[in-house]
A and B are shown apart, each in its own frame.
Chain A
Amino acid sequence: MATRLTRHLVWTATDSKPAADAADLFSAAATPQLVNLATVKAPSVQEQPNLDVFSTARERAVYLLHIGAEVEHALMAQYLYAAYSLGGPHLTTPEHQRRAQQWRATVLEIAREEMGHWATVNNLLTLIGGPLAFEREDYPIPADLYPFPFELEPLTKKSLGKYVLCEMPNEETIKDLGLQEEMEQIRKSVDADKDKISVHRVGIIYDAVAALFTPPVQPKDPKPTPPSFIASSDIQSQSIRFQVSPDAWGLGYKDILIETANDRTSALNAIKAISIQGEGSTIGEFDKSHFGRFLAIYREFAGEGDWRPAREVAKNPTTDQSAPMDRRITNKIALLWARLFNLRYRMLLMYLAHAFRIEAPLKASGRTPRGLLLSWSFGEMYNLRSITEFLMALPLHEGENEPLAGPPFEMPYSLAIGARDADRWRLHRDLLLSSQMYVKALRDGTGKQYEKYLLGLEGANQSAIDQVLTLIGG
C-alpha cells in the first residue's frame, strides 16, 4: 500500500528557489519541495516531488498528510527501537549506565511525541474528510519517500546523526543558530555522500500542508480553477468528535502533544505545534525540540572505538525465514515473541483505526466503546515495550550470544477495517484468539521463565475477548 505513495512521487532536481516563500506554493502549478540535505552547501539545488497528478488542494493535502503520517509512524518505531537498544549488561560503570538511561528516556520521549504527531496528522485527515493513514512499509525502508533510508538499528553515533539531520529546521534557522558547520560535519559523518544517502528534511511536508490550509488573497477575476487552497466547505468542524484528543488518549496528561482541529485556524495551529516540536522549518525552544534533544545526545554520544551505549541488537530483525541470516530471527523462542510482537502491533493499529471511526459521546453520560479501544491501545504500547525487552535479551540465533533479537515492527498484510462495526469487533476477537495461541506456545516452550507475564497476558486477552463477545452478542 505504502509503495503506491512512492509511485506518485517523482524526485526531480531543479534549480528552483527554496520553498521558504509560502506564497509561491499557492499557485496551481506549484508543488511542495523537499530539501535535500546532501546539498546543504549548495542550497540552490533542490529536489521536489512531482505532485501534478493531483488537481485539487484538498487532494494534495491528503496526499502530503499521508506521507507525513507514514514518516511519523516510521520515525516512531525507529526511535523506539533505538531507545530500547540502549543499556545492557555490558555497561559496567555507573556513569555509563546513567548516561545510557538518560538518553534512553529522551529518545523514548521523542518517540512518544512522534506518536502524538502521527495522531495529529490523522486528526487533520479526519478534519478534511481524507482517509486515515496508518500504513507504512516494512524496514528497511528505501529513501524515496522518507527523509532517509529507515532502518531498525541500535543507537549509534551515525544513526543519531541521521536523526539530527531529519529533525533539522530550515537552513535559515540553522544559520541563525550558528550550526552550519556542525551540520555539515554531521552530514559527512553519516556518509551521506559515500552511501548516496539523501537526508530530506521532513518539515517541508508540513510547510506545504500549512500552505494548502492558508487562503491567499484571491483575485476577483478570474478566480483560479481549481482553488489553490482547501475550501472552507471541506473543513468539517463536526469531525472533531471523531478525532483523538489528548484528554481521551492520555487521560489528559500533558505527556503527548496531540492536536485536534475544527477549523482552518486550529488546523494551522496544529501543524505549527508539531513543526515546532520536531521536524519543522523553524524551531521553538531549541532544548525542547527533537532537533535540539537529538543534537545534545549526538554531542555527548560515544564515538566509534569508545564505549558502546547500546546492546548488540540486530539491524532490521525479521521473522521472514528467507531473509539474510544477519536479520533473520531463527531462535525459536525469540521467533515466537517476535511474531507475537507483530500481532500485538497489528492489534494496536486496528484499535486505533477503529477508535477513529467511533464518535466521541456528546454528553458525559454517553457511552461508546471508543474509550475501551483507546485504553486497549494504551495497554498495547505497554505490551510492545514488555515484549521488546524480552526480545532484546534473546539471541537472534540459538547457540550464539550476539547479535540479539529485537522487535521487527512488521506490518500486517492489510490494515483495512471491516465496513460494519460488528465485523471490526470480530477482527479484534480473532486477533485476541491468535494472541492466546502464541501465549500457549510460549508457555509450553519456556516453562517458568515468562510465566507471570504470559499468565497476565492470557487473562487480559480473555477479559478483552469477553468484552468483545458482549458487544457482538457472540
Chain B
Amino acid sequence: MNFGFSEEQNLLREQVLRLMHEHCPMPRVRELIASDNPFAAQLWQQMADLGWLGLITPQEYGGVGLKWVDVTVVLEETGRGLCPLPFASHLLATATVLRCGSPSQRSRWLPAMAAGHAVCTLALCDDGNWLHPDAVTLTGQRTTDGVRISGTKPLVGDAKACDYLIVALRIDGKLALAGVATDSVSLTAANGLDATKPAADVHFDNLLISDDDLLPLDDADFHYLCDLGAVITTAEMVGAAEAALQMTSEYAKERIQFGKPIGQYQGVKHRLADMFVDIESFKSLLYYAAWTVDDAPDELPKAISYAKGYAADAFAQVGIDAVGLHGAIGFTAEYDVQMYLKRSKWARPAYGDSDYHLERVATLGGM
C-alpha cells in the first residue's frame, strides 16, 4: 500500500515548478493573457522537449508512456501558477485519440502531438451545460467524398492556440469525432472572465472532412472523456487552490490591523484552517481518481465524482474567501489573488458541477 508519489514523480514536480517559476511566473501570465492568444511557442516547445506533452502517450507513438498519476503532478503545478498554455486541452485531446483513434490515426497524430508540433483541443458538447451525448448536436452530412460540416461549436477551450480541433458531431444521427485543422474554420473569440482559460466559437462553413479524419465515438467513450476532463480540471484546481490559500495565509501573517497580524484573529485563522481541510480533502480524492484511470477504470466514475463533487463548491469558496480575507487589496486587478477567484468560477461547472457529480455519487452508491 502506497498512496503517495514516487521519487521520480517528486522530481517531475520539482521540474515543473522550476520551469513555471522561470518561464511562466505571474507577470508573464498577465502578459500572455493581455495578448489575443495566450500561447508561448518557446515555452510550449520546452514542455514538449521535457516529455510532458506525451506523458501518457505510449512510447510507440513518441510518448513517455507514463500514467495519469504522473500527469496529475504536472497539472497541479501548471494549475498552481495559472499557466494559460493549452496543456489541459492538449492532454484531453491526446487521451481522445488514444481512446477513439484507429491505429493509423494514432500513428499519424500522436507523435506530432507529443512533440508539440500539433497543438490540439477537444470540442465535445454544443450545450455546454449538459454532460450527455444528446448535447452533441453539430451535424455532418455524409457525401460521396466524405462528410461536410456546417454550423458552430460554441465555447471551444483554447481553440485559438490550437493547430487542430477534435470536434464531436452527429452523422446520420450517430456520434462521431472529426479531426479539423484550425485554419480551415473561422473563430470568434469568447470573452470569459477567466482569461487564462480562453475559448472561442468555431464556425464550420460546409467544411469537407475525409473519412481518414473521422473517429468513432460511442456513449461510453463520451462519458469516459468527460470523466477525464473532470480529472484534468480538478488536478489544476488542487494546485490553484493551494496557491490561493498560500497567498492568503502569507498575507494574514503580515497584514497588521488593531495592532496584530490578522492571522492572529480566529475569524481569519479558522477560515484558513477550513480552507486547508477542504483542499486536503479534494486533493486526496483527486489523487485516488487519477490512480483509478489506469489501475481501476471501473472505479473512475465514482472516484472522479467524489473529487469534482467536493472540489467544485469548495474551491469556489476558497476563491471567495481568498479575495475576501485580503480586504480591498484583493479586489484590485493588480493583485494576483483575484485571478484565482476567476479560475474557481471557471472550474466550478467545467466537466460537471457539484449537482451533476453528487447526483452521480448517489446513483453509483445504490440510491
Whether both chains belong to one complex is answered with: no
Chain B residues at the A interface, C-beta cutoff of 8 Å: none
